Amino acid sequence: MAAVTDAEFEAQVLKSDKPVLVDFWAEWCGPCRQVAPILDEIAGAHGDKISFFKMNVDENPVTPSSYRVTGIPTINVYQGGEVVKTIVGARPKATLLNELSEFISA
């Protein structure tokens, strides 16, 4: 999954033609490390339907605070410049696939 920064967020995420999943994470976050390989797998299988990015909240404080990201991992899905889904905390792959089904089955 590619990283996105505060500076690139609007162009890469908000102005995207397709849905975009952003994983807000930090290196010190254990649950973030648990969910990262699951998201990599989902991105590999469904990257044609939805774009995947990760944002390090320690290196990019502006965007997470503007979207009230207080706990990590937080996974936001953006469509048309708006947050259309938020998932907080690590989830098993099956749960994530179910939560994201409306975006990846289209």
Q: Does 29 participate in catalysis according to the annotation?
A: yes
Which of the residues 4, 22, 29, 69 is marked catalytic? 29
Contacts of 37 (CB under 8 A, 6+ apart): none
Count CB-CB contacts under 10 A for residue 13. 20
Q: Does 96 participate in catalysis according to the annotation?
A: no
Which of the residues 1, 4, 21, 32 is marked catalytic? 32
The stretches of 1-106 forming alpha helices (DSSP H) are 9, 30-46, 62-66, 93-99, 101-104
Nearest of 8, 64, 79 to residue 32 by alpha carbon: 64
Active site residues: 29, 32
